[in-house]
Structures are given as structure tokens and as C-alpha cells.
Amino acid sequence: MFSMEVEPGGLVRLAGRLDAAEADRATADLAAIDGAVTLDCSRLEYVSSAGLSLMLIMHKRLLANGHALRLVNLQPLVRNVINYAGLNRILQIE
């Protein structure tokens, strides 16, 4: 199960499993956010290639509009997937 809480100021709290079954809904919700975005991944348990694609697309969209995407509080499994995909060299991770 996946959930997402969008808070003022561009903070988005992700929880559960971000996989292909959830990526389309998450993409639509995240596309509505204008300005810098911080994804709080403290409760994100799993991310698939579809979730990674969502993050990369969002990063490119925000960058083109002069904003940034930050990922914070990554769980070890999620951090490993992002690192193995090489996205740690592209995305801002804190």
C-alpha cells in the first residue's frame, strides 16, 4: 500500500511501496505541485523502477522551471536502489 501526504511549502511525505501500480496516481498528484519539492522518504519502504522514473521525471520538470527536488530521510533499502540506479549522482539527497 502506498500513501502520499502533500503539505504546504512543497513537503511531500511518502509511505509504503512506490511501484508501478501506484506510480501513475503519484505522478498525477506530484505534477500539480509548483515550486521546490522535498520528498520525505522516512516511511517509504520500497521503490521500483517506476518509482525511480517518477522521481527523475519530477526532477527534470522542476529543474526546467528553476526549482529543485530534494529527497530526505531515505531508508537503507530505498537508498540502495537509488544508488544502484545511479540516481544519487543526479538527485539531491540529504
What per-residue confidence (pLDDT) applies to 80?
Answer: 96
How far, in Å, CA of 92 to CA of 94, rounded? 7
pLDDT score recorded for residue 32? 86
Where do the domains of the chain lie? 2-93
pTM, two decimal places: 0.92
- DSSP symbols for 21-89: HHHHHHHHHHHT--S-EEEEEEEEEEE-HHHHHHHHHHHHHHHHTT--EEEES--HHHHHHHHHTTGGG
Q: What is the per-residue pLDDT for 34?
A: 84
Top-tier CATH class for 2-93: alpha beta
**pLDDT mean by block of 10 residues, the chain; 94 residues:** 92 96 90 92 96 94 95 97 95 94
Q: What is the pLDDT of residue 76?
A: 96
Tell me, what's the pLDDT at 33?
A: 87
